[in-house]
Structure 1
C-alpha cells in the first residue's frame, strides 16, 4: 500500500510516498481502507521534531491521526463493526493515517455520519474530540454559562462554538474577516474582531475561556474570567500560579482518542446540529504542500488528504 512517511525530522520535503505492507489487524482492531485523512498542526510539529522529546518515535513512521474510510476486516475480539461499515476515527499516534490502510483500535472508531462525505467526516475527529474534551470534560459546561472561545472560525473553535450553543451557553468568540460571518452563522452571540479590537476591553465575567492560541492571548484572557471561572487551554499549558493570581482555575487539554465521543458527535452531525468545516483538499501525494501551507499560516480551515475513491 501507499503511505506518507518520514525517515528523519525536518521540513515538508521529508514527507515521502512509500510502498509499505498493509498493517496486520489485531484482535482488538478494525482494518480500515482509508478514503480521506485529516491534516492537523500536530502532524507538522511531529514531522519537524518539535515533539521529539514528548513523543519519541522510531524512523521511518507514517504521519496522521484522523481519517474516514471503509472497514475491510475486524479482529476476533471486536463487536459492533463489520466489513463494509463506513467509519471515522482519531487513532493513537502510533498508527499513522496518511495511508491507504490503517489498523486502528476499535475503541477509537465510530460509524461515519451518514449525511456527510468521507472527506468531511475526516475533518472532524481530532478537532471535534478536542472541543468536546475541553468543554464537556474539563470545563463541565452547563446551560446559562458564558464562554469566550478564541479562534471560533478554526477547526476546533468552530466545533466548540456549536457545542456550547447546543448546551445553552452564551458564546463570545474572536474572529476576523470572513470568519466573523462564519461564526455568526454557527450561532455565536457576540463576535469580536481580534485585528481591530482588544477582546479583554470588551469581555468580562466569563465562566469559561477556551484558549486555542496561547501566548499573549492567554495572558490577556485571565481578566475576562469571573472569580472561580476556568481557562481551558489546548495550545499552551497555563501556569497554575497565574490562575491563582487571577482567582480562577485552569486546565490543559490533551485529547485521548475515544470512539464513544465520536459517536455522539456523529449523531449531532446527522441531526443537523453540527456543521463540519473543510478548508482545502489535496491528494495524498501532495501532503508536503499541505504542510507548507499549514506551517506558513496560509491554509484555510481544516485540510484533508484524499487517499482513495469511496468505492475501490
Structure 2
C-alpha cells in the first residue's frame, strides 16, 4: 500500500478504513474508493468517525490540481474538508470527549475528509447543532464560515448597511443571505429565475434575476458587494460600491491579489476570503441554527461510493444549497 504523507504523521498500525483517494489530478473519474490505514489523533486532536461529508467547490478545484502550489504532487491524496460525526478517540490535550457529536472543517488546503475517520485539531471542530441531523450539519462548516468571514470580518457589514450578494442560491450564498439579515443588513440577492423563490424565503429584501439584469448596469450603491464565485473583477463592480465600500470574493487569482494590494491606498477595498475553521465561529453558527435563525439548505445526498457522481453534479453549478456524502 502506498504511503499517505498528506494524511498525517501517525497512522494506526493495524486498523484500516475506507477513503476516497486521487492518484493524479483530473476529472471526477480520478476519485477512487480504497482501504487505507486509519489515522491516530496526536496532541490536541480527536479521531472523528465521519458520518457525513459536505462537498464543496474547493474539493473540485483541488481534485483538478488548480492549486498544486498548495497541494503538491505527492499521491495518493485524500481531499475534502467538511465533516460531521462522532468523537471515538481523544488525543492528549484535546478538549472534546469521546461520544461528542461534532461538526467542522479540516483546515489543510487539500483536506482529508473523504474517509470513514479523520484526525482533526479540536480548534477546528465544535459540538454539532442539536436541532438538525448530522447529515444536515455536514453541509454547514466551510460554506457558512466562508459567508460569515466574508460579511462580518472582511466586509465589516453593519446593521442598516446595504449588501449585494452575487451567487445567492449556491452553497455559500444561501448562508450569506441569512447571515447578512442576522447582522441587520438590507440584502439584495442575485440568482437565476428558478431560485428567486428560495432566496426570497431565506430573507432577501430584493432579488435580481441575472438572466434579465446585468450587474454592471445597476445604478445604485452598496456598502458590501459579495461576489461569491468571483464572476466579476473589482474594477467592474466599483461603481456599485459606496465611497468606502468593500468588494469580497472567494476565488484566489493573480487578479484579486493585485486588487487587494491596490485597495490599501484606496477608500474602496477589495478582499479575498481565505476561510479557516474556528471553534467560536462554529459555536455562533450552531446557536443561530438551534435558534431557528439560520436554515441549512441541502440539495442532494450521495453515498460515499458515488463521490464521482457528486462531483459531476457540483460541476453543473446547478446545486441549490449544499451537496452531501453519506459515509454509511
Change (3 A) 1:184 1:203: farther
CA contact (8 A) 1:95 1:103 kept: no
Which one of 132, 144, 155 corresponds to residue 128 of structure 1? 144
**Number of aligned residue pairs:** 307
Which one of 228, 246, 252 corresponds to residue 230 of structure 1? 246
CA contact (8 A) 2:53 2:114 kept: yes
TM-score, with structure 1 as normaliser = 0.93
Which one of 93, 99, 102 corresponds to residue 84 of structure 1? 99
Bigger mean CA offset, 199-208 vs 264-273: 199-208
Distance 1:294 1:51 in 2: 18
Q: Aligned-pair distance for 1:155?
A: 1.1
Which one of 296, 302, 307 corresponds to residue 287 of structure 1? 307
Structure 1 runs not aligned, ≥5 long: none
Distance 1:207 1:267 in 2: 27
1:99 aligned residue: 115
Confirm whether residue 209 of structure 1 aligns to residue 230 of structure 2.
no
1:17 aligned residue: 33
Confirm whether residue 160 of structure 1 aligns to residue 141 of structure 2.
no
Distance 1:261 1:153 in 2: 22
Structure 2 runs not aligned, ≥5 long: 1-16
CA contact (8 A) 2:246 2:268 kept: yes
2:294 aligned residue: 274
CA contact (8 A) 2:260 2:272 kept: no
CA contact (8 A) 1:222 1:243 kept: no
Q: Aligned-pair distance for 1:211?
A: 1.1
TM-score, with structure 2 as normaliser = 0.89
CA contact (8 A) 1:211 1:218 kept: no
Q: Aligned-pair distance for 1:78?
A: 1.1
* CA deviation vs aligned residue, 1:25-51 (integer Å, no higher than 9, x gap): 112101110010011111111111111
Bigger mean CA offset, 191-200 vs 33-42: 191-200
Supply the RMSD in Å over aligned alpha carbons. Answer: 1.9
Distance 2:303 2:291 in 1: 30
Distance 2:183 2:250 in 1: 20
Distance 1:184 1:255 in 2: 26
